[in-house]
Structure 1
Amino acid sequence: MSQMHVMGGAMTRFGRHQGVMAPELAQQAILAAVADAGVELKDIQAIYCANVLGGMILGQVILRDLNLAGIPVYNVENACASGATAVHLARHALLAGQYQRVLVFGIEQLTQLGGGTIPLQRNDEKTDLYARAGMVLPAVYAMRATRFIHERGASPADLAAIAVKNRYHGSLNEYAQQRTEVTLEEVLGSRMIADPLTLLQCCPSQVDGAAALVLGDKPGPHARDVRVLASSVVSGLREGARDDILDAEITARAARQAYEQSGVDPRDVAVVELHDAFTIAELIYYEALGLAPHGDAVSLLHSGATRLGGRVPVNPSGGLLAKGHPLGATGVAQMVELMWQLQGRAGTRQANNQPRIGVAQCTGGGIAGVDHAASSVHVLGV
């Protein structure tokens, strides 16, 4: 097998699903994805379940009621990059000819945690310097934002413009948790979380959701056949005292690998779903993904190129800022969105540049002394 096809996909609405347990939520996405792929559950040969905080053997628990007991189930945890990592592992097995058709799904119920920020390293306060100091991700990104403003001659309004764009996109997405447009003034005037990041510049922390993909060695039933042209997952490198916190080295490295695998030039990319957990992240990733030269991220944003109707819409789903970020589901949901975009099935948020190449990027976790624990980049094409 030389190519992996995205045969079909689906996701649930992201948001609060009171009274709905994780198995039921995941099963909704699984059954819809299988139907979208034009296959039956009995045709699935292996399952990859991505989840961060749901506990042991969650995949088997979810699949028990679907009568899929007996086939291989792989439970994957790689922080926020769990879903993308599950796709990466599934691709290895498919290309090796181990399976011909697999299901990858991600599920998370963050509303069960009771609110608040998620620690960098849960239950690791003794061995991780950042965790012991009480460091949380909003503070990490706030430091990057402060440095960005200082070095690039940017302003807090430049950061807030990302939230305005993505929340507009989210207002068009029936699967998004936040579906209300906001103004620049509303973003800047919302409650300060970690200076200069205000509330509306941070992804919602109370969100449930699931997403699923059927991947195989043959195209699905849709007119436009979406293939995974490249898949890269890398870990962070140990940082030195002089390392630049704005270069997103781990994502740039993953992107270089993915572009080399696929033979795609960044200039060919027509639609992107990236990890905008905080507004500053999107600006940094413009450069790491090669969408903008070093120092030109703000110019790219204000040119309108990354907005729906622009040359390369970024986060047409609304991104994590509007759609929400149920950790294990995010990486899979990004690829579901790209599948819809490349097939022209995205409805009112459809990129009008007839996209043929899409890129999904997702980072995960934080460890003292490294950029991120993991980063993934996938290139999809028709």
Structure 2
Amino acid sequence: MTKLLGDFEPVYVVGAGWHRYQPLSETTYVELGLTAVRAALADAGIGWEDVDESFIGHGRLGMAAGRPMLRHLGALGKPLVHVENASASGSAAFRLGCVQVAAGVSDVALVLGVDKPRPTYRSPTGTQGLADDAIVPFTHFSLLTGAYTSAYGVTDEDMARIAVKNHGNGAKNPNAHRRQQRTLEEILQGRKVAGALTSLQCCPVGEGAAAVLVASETAINRLGIDPGKAIRVASSAAVTETTVSSDQQVTEEVIARALHEAQTPASELDVFELHDAFTIEEAQYVEASGIAPPGQYIPMLKEGAFDIGGKCAVSTSGGLIAMGHPIGPTGVGQIGEIALQLRGAAGERQHPGARVGLAHMVGLGAVGYAHVLRRD
């Protein structure tokens, strides 16, 4: 029988750090990554020598990108694993770190997501779809937006309100790519991308880094880590597509698994960081999670249910739309954001009384990851 994370020893997030997500710059990826790692170590109050192994999620840096980064902290001869899983690279790396600590293989694991834009090339494997040149991501999500608005009788203006919320949250986040509050008119009048989608309803893909430290109870006690900073990872779920599944169905399945493993109904979630690369995804995935019934996301959004201070604060970081989506760091940064929220340490974007959070990412629509975090 397949075992779950909860069948092993408890696992905790004890430190988080970032290099701000930002447009392409002259900053090297080594500096991006080291900034995040050093911030996470300082947050946890431990040294590099206390880390037993490292997992690095990235999608654009080529082979063995971690070595030239981590050697600056000291080459300790400890295990180093690189993970590429499209947009879910950081989420996949986090799951691996949790499993190693839960199984007792390591006491402390570093999970780092780092990426920097570079030229991309079409795969030579011949596995592309026949319409890959015509149905690019923003076209796909524009079509999904039209289907959703038609099915549920909502307007393009209603969908743009999602971006208003997330830009507002991002404006409060010092690590966000976009840090400017936007009005509904600004969102609607932005550069047209496809159909009703404007550029401000689509995520920016830049550079940055995020790091978290995962530790066992033994390590917390042995290293004198502040137990008030320890946020338990209550579940870790991963799925892949079937021949008939969509992005939304992958999301529905992986979130259902994560909530079941954590013995947590969707109604108990206080904060939710999700893969909102386009505004329609937030509506779809909140409904797929069970937080909102089908077709009820927009009415609940208008009531403030997903605002900071509402029923369940969605994308307090600003989400991919405002926080940004540098690929490798995205899933790791979500974990860090939820850890801050559950500690009560998120500053002006703090959701009052947050105790349970869910992080969710999808990779190319084919792989899905979800993690439930809980403040014990």
Q: Structure 1 regions of 5+ residues with no counterpart?
A: 366-371
| SS class of match (1:58) | coil
Aligned residue in 2 for 1:282: 282
> How much does 1:224 deviate?
4.7
Identical columns (%): 35
Within 1, Cα distance between the matches of 2:312 and 2:132?
Answer: 41
| SS class of match (1:89) | helix
Within 2, Cα distance between the matches of 1:217 and 1:337?
Answer: 20
Within 1, Cα distance between the matches of 2:180 and 2:34?
Answer: 28
Task: Tell me which amino acid in the other structure corresponds to 2:304.
Answer: G
Aligned residue in 1 for 2:3: none
Aligned residue in 1 for 2:331: 331
Aligned residue in 1 for 2:370: 377
The question of 1:358 aligning with 2:357 is answered yes
Within 1, Cα distance between the matches of 2:87 and 2:133?
Answer: 21
Task: Tell me which amino acid in the other structure corresponds to 1:198.
Answer: T
Within 2, Cα distance between the matches of 1:214 and 1:294?
Answer: 36
Aligned residue in 1 for 2:64: 57
Instruction: Say which is worse superposed, 60-69 or 267-276, in terms of deviation.
Output: 60-69
Within 2, Cα distance between the matches of 1:62 and 1:15?
Answer: 19
Asked whether the 8 Å contact 2:335–2:359 carries over to 1, the reply is yes
Aligned residue in 2 for 1:369: none
Within 1, Cα distance between the matches of 2:227 and 2:315?
Answer: 23
Match of 2:242 among 222, 227, 237: 237
Q: How do residues 57-96 of structure 1 correspond to structure 2 at under 5 angstroms?
A: 57-96=64-103
> How much does 1:17 deviate?
5.8
Aligned residue in 1 for 2:207: 208
Within 2, Cα distance between the matches of 1:320 and 1:307?
Answer: 16
Asked whether the 8 Å contact 2:14–2:229 carries over to 1, the reply is no
Asked whether the 8 Å contact 1:63–1:69 carries over to 2, the reply is no
Asked whether the 8 Å contact 1:270–1:312 carries over to 2, the reply is yes
Within 2, Cα distance between the matches of 1:76 and 1:159?
Answer: 34
Aligned residue in 2 for 1:2: 9
Asked whether the 8 Å contact 2:357–2:374 carries over to 1, the reply is yes
| SS class of match (2:110) | strand
Aligned residue in 1 for 2:48: 41
Asked whether the 8 Å contact 2:9–2:104 carries over to 1, the reply is no
> How much does 1:11 deviate?
0.8
| SS class of match (1:285) | helix
Asked whether the 8 Å contact 2:15–2:229 carries over to 1, the reply is no
> Deviation digits for residues 69-114 of structure 1, max 9, x if unmatched?
421111000000010111111122112111111100000112x44x
Aligned length: 362
Asked whether the 8 Å contact 1:25–1:210 carries over to 2, the reply is yes
Aligned residue in 2 for 1:170: 170
Within 2, Cα distance between the matches of 1:178 and 1:378?
Answer: 25
Q: How do residues 173-322 of structure 1 correspond to structure 2 at under 5 angstroms?
A: 173-205=173-205, 207-218=206-217, 219=220, 220-239=225-244, 248-322=248-322
> How much does 1:125 deviate?
7.6
Task: Tell me which amino acid in the other structure corresponds to 1:225.
Answer: A
Task: Tell me which amino acid in the other structure corresponds to 1:380.
Answer: L
Within 2, Cα distance between the matches of 1:256 and 1:172?
Answer: 31
Within 1, Cα distance between the matches of 2:321 and 2:212?
Answer: 22
Instruction: Say which is worse superposed, 14-23 or 219-228, in terms of deviation.
Output: 219-228
Off by >6 Å, runs of 4+ in structure 1 = none
Aligned residue in 2 for 1:368: none
Asked whether the 8 Å contact 1:14–1:176 carries over to 2, the reply is yes
Task: Tell me which amino acid in the other structure corresponds to 1:209.
Answer: G
Report the TM-score, using the length of structure 2 for normalisation: 0.92
> Deviation digits for residues 235-272 of structure 1, max 9, x if unmatched?
11112xxx7x6x81101100111011110110100011
> How much does 1:192 deviate?
1.1
Within 2, Cα distance between the matches of 1:124 and 1:200?
Answer: 33
> Deviation digits for residues 303-362 of structure 1, max 9, x if unmatched?
10101121211001111111111100000000100011000111111112x110001011
Aligned residue in 1 for 2:115: 108
Asked whether the 8 Å contact 1:26–1:210 carries over to 2, the reply is yes
Task: Tell me which amino acid in the other structure corresponds to 1:378.
Answer: H
Q: Structure 2 regions of 5+ residues with no counterpart?
A: 1-7
Within 1, Cα distance between the matches of 2:84 and 2:65?
Answer: 11
Aligned residue in 2 for 1:24: 31
| SS class of match (1:12) | strand
Asked whether the 8 Å contact 1:125–1:131 carries over to 2, the reply is no
Within 1, Cα distance between the matches of 2:176 and 2:97?
Answer: 26
Task: Tell me which amino acid in the other structure corresponds to 1:357.
Answer: V
